[in-house]
Amino acid sequence: MKLSVVVPHMYGLKDVDFMLKKCVKSLVGHDELIIVANDGLGYGASVNLGMRLATGDHIIVANNDTWLTNGTLRDLALNNVITTPKVVPEPRDSLPRSFFCVPRIIYEDIYEKYGDFFDERFEGGYWEDDDLHDRLWESEIAMGTIETVVVHHLNGGGLTMKQIGEQEYFDKNRDVYFEKKGTGG
């Protein structure tokens, strides 16, 4: 089994570059590492690019501010199930958001149905994961959490958009999400 890891990364900021080094150092057990320089691409587009380049039987997507603290990457690789580790601090749910593993066969199914894993109309990293969850639900794709694999997510503790100055992205992407659903936000 070949395991590819995709890490979208906005480079050039000292703290962010340090987080990437910590992330990569913790990702033991992969066969292929793809770091996508997110220079204005957006989170979804960066992940899509990395997933298209990946050649593994399983593709792990890891935010650059996450790092593995328990278990191995190979523990996440289950046939026909998208898996997530236990994330600390606790995320708002257990769905794929900051760190997840996708079997190639599922990636190819989503790619064939939708053209890409994430819809690239979403900018700045908000709501595209909610849209992805809808796609997975519609496709009846199984998801699960592997409790023995633990990942720390630095910004996973729920910073508000106002705290990090990205309310504009959040609002714009929320509108795109509800427009796709045919409802008002």
Does a cis peptide bond (omega within 30 degrees of 0) precede residue 89?
yes
Residue that is written with structure tokens 């639900």 in the block: 137
pTM of this structure = 0.87
Average pLDDT score, the chain: 85
**What Å distances lie between residue 25 and 66, 69, 180, CA to CA?**
11, 11, 39
What domains lie within the chain, and their CATH numbers? 3-181 (3.90.550.10)
Q: pLDDT for 127-165, tens place per residue? A: 888 888 888 888 898 888 899 999 998 866 444 444 456
Q: pLDDT for 91-125, tens place per residue? A: 666 667 789 999 999 999 999 998 899 988 887 66
Contact 174, 125 (CB under 8 A): no
Residue 3 has pLDDT above 90, yes or no: yes
CA-closest candidate to residue 61, choices 84, 78, 81, 80? 84
Predicted pLDDT of residue 9: 87
